[in-house]
């Protein structure tokens, strides 16, 4: 007969009992947007360095990407602010640097993201959005200043890549360093969230490219709505040749992300009893269905198949894989944020 | 140096909640919140079962993950006795420390900052015991300096079997339960 262990606790603190539920949609959305911005920065940085003056393609990556990134970052910081319970004291984050606190690292990294993204976006902004450049000629001056100096272009590209990698890994490490929550306590969360961010970013850029590409066979209402929004900024030219590059890159990111998820599950299921209990939340527990259907199925497997068919020219490029990847990335953050709070060391008492 | 600790005799504790009431009174803890609480753990195979009643609170760990994760330095280790405290003015309410604590000993005060047991450091610095210790009707709670081998807590730990909570988490808790 199995020994009985029964705990009766008289504590009923809000957000803590009966199980921890301190973080909700705000943190999941913040981590998602952080990953998106990280991916956009890395792709923008790589493209900025790779573009030669005679080869002004892929502006979607190094101009539209930073604009989307700046918007996403601002939204993410706003959702993080919404989560704070002592909001008026938020400025305290920037009066100190706590070397052992991932959140302190993150708050300073977020400040570096703005100038890096602005500089990257400025480099080719006059070509991408001529109307804006005509209205504000100083943009042309800044762009010329950057493009006239090869070392500056390389520095901006490299800084975007490095800050993007730091931001992407930070969004995972933020959860991974909480030893009290066994499901989160894995170093794999850093690279997992980075790769997921890269795949979301590639899918977003791919989606923007598809919306921008004229196609008489479409437009559905959703396409019409989205294309109307992108036309507000009159971005052009977006080279459709970049589409397959982004789809191929996204497939690579998704494959590595799937491998990291498998390693994450192997790590938990072969570890201590509390980690096995934590993994069971995703393997037979309350989060199993949403994890396998939305994160793995919709977010990784279906887009991989669709994008592979697109790359093989069996089907045309559509918005579907982009939307699936974005929703899958969002689902990954929601599942891990909520399930992680339910995993606990109290399981160790069942000894 | 001093290292404050609490030793609680589970053979004497009857779970009367006097310590909980004393804490609420001493610190004006809002209704519906607790800095300390009573846990009853029933363990074994019937009819050979054992009931342990414990008065629990922040363990004022030697290796406190709530301090290392705090982005503003609000969670800190006090100069005297290694007591873990929260500076309410520095706290932004990010709740990282709640996620980091394996004992779920912290909560968000209705005013927005994070709150928890302070080992009644304001009383201890004036030579008094923490409020919970001072009111215990069965005298099951003892407070003192672990670094002083002649202190009551050191002598109790040297003479009786004891355990701490979730030592596997690696936080080195400073509350010990005599069994």
Catalogue all structural domains in chain B, each as residue range(s) with its CATH number: 4-178 (3.30.70.20)
What's the mean pLDDT in A238-264? 89
Of A217 and A333, the one with more pLDDT: A333
Spatial separation of the C-alpha atoms in residues A234 and A131, rounded to whole Å: 8
Q: How many Å apart are CA A143 and CA A155, to the nearest integer?
A: 14
Whether B142 and B6 have beta carbons less than 8 Å apart is answered as: yes
The pLDDT assigned to A314 comes to 85
A14 close contact with B: CB closer than 8 A: yes
**Interface confidence (ipTM) of the complex:** 0.92
pLDDT-derived band at A350, boundaries 50, 70, 90: very low
Phi, psi for B52 (deg, rounded to 5):
-115, 125
Identify the weakest region by mean pLDDT among A75-79, A114-118, A286-290, B41-45.
B41-45
Distance between CA atoms of residues A223 and A205, nearest Å: 15
The tokens of A319 are what? 């918005």
Residue A45 CA to residue A68 CA, distance in Å, equals: 14
Q: Give yes or no for a contact between A82 and B93, defined as CB atoms under 8 angstroms apart.
A: no
Asked if pLDDT for residue A330 goes beyond 70, the answer is yes
Substitution target from A177, A180, A184 for chain B, most B beta carbons within 10 A: A180
The 10s digit of each residue's pLDDT in B83-99 is 999 999 999 999 999 99
Residues in B touching A7 (Cβ below 8 Å):
39-42
pLDDT of A130 reads 81
Q: How confident is the model at residue A346 (pLDDT cuts 50, 70, 90)?
A: confident
pLDDT value at residue A217: 44
Selecting from A3, A87, A178 the residue whose C-beta is nearest the C-beta of B99 gives A178
Q: Do B117 and B23 meet the contact criterion of CB atoms below 8 Å apart?
A: yes
* Confidence (pLDDT) at B176: 97
pLDDT at A175: 97
Strand pairing class (B4-9; B175-178): parallel
Note the pLDDT tens digit of each residue in A48-103: 888 654 445 557 777 888 999 999 999 999 999 999 999 999 999 999 999 999 99
Q: Which of B94, B101, B110, B177 to mutate to test binding with chain A, by most A CBs within 10 Å of its CB? A: B94
Q: Which residues of B touch A93 (CB under 8 A)?
A: 71-72, 92
Burial of B170 (0-12, 13-18, 19+ CB in 10 A): exposed
Cα separations in angstroms, A36 against A48, A102, A119, A195, A330: 18, 19, 18, 10, 10
Q: Determine whether the interchain pair B41/A5 forms a contact, defined as Cβ–Cβ distance below 8 Å.
A: yes
**Is residue A232 pLDDT above 50, yes or no?**
no
Does the CB of B31 have a partner CB in chain A at under 8 Å? no
8 Å CB contact of A15 and B45: no
A111 touches chain B (CB under 8 A): no
Phi/psi region, residue A226 (left: phi>0; alpha: psi -120 to 50; beta: rest), is alpha
Q: What is the pLDDT of residue A54?
A: 45
Residue with tokens 């299921």: A269
CB A249 within 8 A of CB A44: no
Please determine, for residue A334, whether its predicted confidence score (pLDDT) is greater than 90. yes
**Average pLDDT score over residue span A280-295:** 96
Residues of chain A contacting B112 with CB distance shorter than 8 Å: 85-87, 89
B-chain CB neighbours of A84 within 8 Å are: 92-94
- Which one is predicted more confidently, A128 or A279? A279
Q: What is the mean pLDDT of residues B103-118?
A: 97
Please report which confidence band the pLDDT of residue A237 belongs to, taking 50, 70 and 90 as the band edges.
very low
| Cα–Cα distance for residue pair A173/A167, rounded to 1 Å | 10
Strands, sheet with B48-56, edge to edge from the N-terminal-most edge strand: A4-9, B37-45, B48-56
Residues of chain B with Cβ-Cβ distance to A85 below 8 Å are 93, 95, 108, 112-113
| Cβ neighbours, 10 Å, residue B14 | 12
The residues, ordered by sequence, that sit 6+ positions from B67 with a Cβ below 8 Å of its Cβ are B75, B76, B77, B84, B97
CA distance B69 to chain A (A): 4
Minimum mean pLDDT range among A223-232, A315-324, B142-151 = A223-232
pLDDT band at A239 (very low <50, low <70, confident <90, very high): low
Give pLDDT tens digits for B5-63: 999 999 999 999 999 999 999 999 999 999 999 999 998 998 899 999 999 999 999 99
Nearest to B67 by CA among B106, B37, B112, B111: B106
pLDDT > 60? residue A312: yes
CB contact under 8 A, B93 and A87: yes
Q: What is the pLDDT of residue B22?
A: 97
Q: Contacts of residue B98 in chain A, CB cutoff 8 Å?
A: 15-16, 20, 22
Q: Is-contact B54 B19, C-beta < 8 A?
A: no
Query: Which residue has better confidence, A214 or B170?
Result: B170
Which has the higher per-residue pLDDT, A317 or B154? B154
- Determine the residue of chain B that is closest to A350 in CA distance: B43
Q: Which pairing describes strands B162-163 and B175-178: parallel, antiparallel, or unpaired?
A: antiparallel
Counting every residue, how long is chain A? 351
A28-37 exposure pattern, b = at least 16 Cβ within 10 A, e = fewer:
bbbbbbbbbb
Residue B67 pLDDT level (bands cut at 50, 70, 90): very high
- pTM, rounded to two decimals: 0.92
Q: What is the dihedral of CA A282, A285, A286, A292, to 10 degrees?
A: 40
Question: What DSSP designation does A296 have?
Answer: I
**How much is the pLDDT for A52?**
58
Cross-chain residue pair B169–A180, CB shorter than 8 Å: yes
Contact, B56 vs B103, CB < 8 A? yes
Residue A207: pLDDT over 50 = yes
pLDDT at A223: 54
Where do the domains of chain A lie, and which CATH numbers do they carry? 25-84+102-349 (1.20.1630.10)
CA distances from residue A42 to A33, A163, A202 in whole angstroms, order as listed: 14, 8, 10
**Average of per-residue pLDDT across A28-56:** 86
Give the chain B residue nearest A94 (alpha carbons).
B72
Chain A / chain B CB contacts < 8 angstroms: 158
What is the rounded CA–CA span in Å between residue A29 and residue A83?
11
Q: Per this entry, what is the length of chain B?
A: 179
pLDDT of A133:
84
pLDDT tens-digit readout, B115-150: 999 999 999 999 999 999 999 999 999 999 999 999
Greater pLDDT, A317 or A278:
A278
Interface of A with B in 173-202 (CB under 8 A): 177-181
* Interface touch B94/A103, C-beta < 8 Å: yes
| B residues 112-151 lying closer than 8 A (beta carbon) to A | 112-113
Q: Which of A107-111, A212-216, B62-66 is predicted least confidently?
A: A212-216
Task: Please give the average per-residue pLDDT across A152-157, as a whole number.
Answer: 94
């Amino acid at each position: 007969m199995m020994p009985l262990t029964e705990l009766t606790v008289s504590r009923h603190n809000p957000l803590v009992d009966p199980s921890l539920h301190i973080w909700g949609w705000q943190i999941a959305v913040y981590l998602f947007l952080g990953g998106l911005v990280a991916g956009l920065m890395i792709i923008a940085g790589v493209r900025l360095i790779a573009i030669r003056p005679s080869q002004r393609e892929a502006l979607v990556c190094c101009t539209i990407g930073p604009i989307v990134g700046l918007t996403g970052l601002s939204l993410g910081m706003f959702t993080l602010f919404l989560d704070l319970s002592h909001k008026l004291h938020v400025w305290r984050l920037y009066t100190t640097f706590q070397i052992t606190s991932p959140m302190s690292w993150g708050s300073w990294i977020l400040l570096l993201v703005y100038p890096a993204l602005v500089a990257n976006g400025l480099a080719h902004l006059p070509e991408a959005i001529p109307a804006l450049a005509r209205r504000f000629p100083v943009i042309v001056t800044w762009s010329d200043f950057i493009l006239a100096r090869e070392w500056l272009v390389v520095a901006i590209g490299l800084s975007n890549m490095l800050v993007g990698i730091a931001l992407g890994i930070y969004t995972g490490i933020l959860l991974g360093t909480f030893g009290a929550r066994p499901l989160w306590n894995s170093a794999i969360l850093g690279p997992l969230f980075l790769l997921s961010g890269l795949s979301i970013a590639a899918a977003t850029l791919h989606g923007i490219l598809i919306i921008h590409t004229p196609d008489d066979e479409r437009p559905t209402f959703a396409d019409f709505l989205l294309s109307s929004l992108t036309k507000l900024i009159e971005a052009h030219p977006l080279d459709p040749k970049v589409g397959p590059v982004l789809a191929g890159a996204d497939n690579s990111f998704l494959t590595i992300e799937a491998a990291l998820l498998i390693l994450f599950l192997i790590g938990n299921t072969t570890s201590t009893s509390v980690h096995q209990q934590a993994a069971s939340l995703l393997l037979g527990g309350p989060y199993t269905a949403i994890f396998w259907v939305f994160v793995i199925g919709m977010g990784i497997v279906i887009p991989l198949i669709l994008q592979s068919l697109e790359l093989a020219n069996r089907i045309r490029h559509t918005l579907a894989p982009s939307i699936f990847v974005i929703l899958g990335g969002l689902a990954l953050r929601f599942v891990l944020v909520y399930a992680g709070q339910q995993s606990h060391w109290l399981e160790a008492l069942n000894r | 140096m001093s290292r404050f600790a609490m030793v609680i005799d589970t053979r004497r504790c009857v779970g009367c909640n006097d310590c909980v009431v004393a804490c609420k009174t001493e610190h004006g803890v809002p209704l519906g919140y607790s800095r300390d609480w009573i846990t009853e753990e029933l363990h074994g195979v019937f009819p050979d079962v054992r009931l342990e009643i414990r008065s629990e609170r922040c363990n004022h760990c030697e290796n406190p993950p709530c301090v290392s994760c705090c982005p503003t330095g609000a969670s800190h280790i006090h100069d005297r006795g290694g007591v873990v405290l929260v500076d309410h003015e520095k706290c932004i309410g990010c709740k990282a420390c709640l996620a980091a604590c394996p004992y779920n000993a912290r909560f968000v005060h209705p005013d927005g900052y994070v709150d928890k047991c302070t080992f009644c450091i304001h009383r201890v610095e004036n030579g008094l015991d923490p409020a919970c210790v001072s009111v215990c009707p069965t005298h099951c709670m003892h407070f003192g300096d672990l670094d002083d081998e002649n202190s009551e807590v050191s002598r109790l730990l040297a003479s009786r079997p004891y355990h701490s909570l979730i030592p596997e988490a690696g936080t080195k808790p400073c509350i010990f339960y005599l069994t």
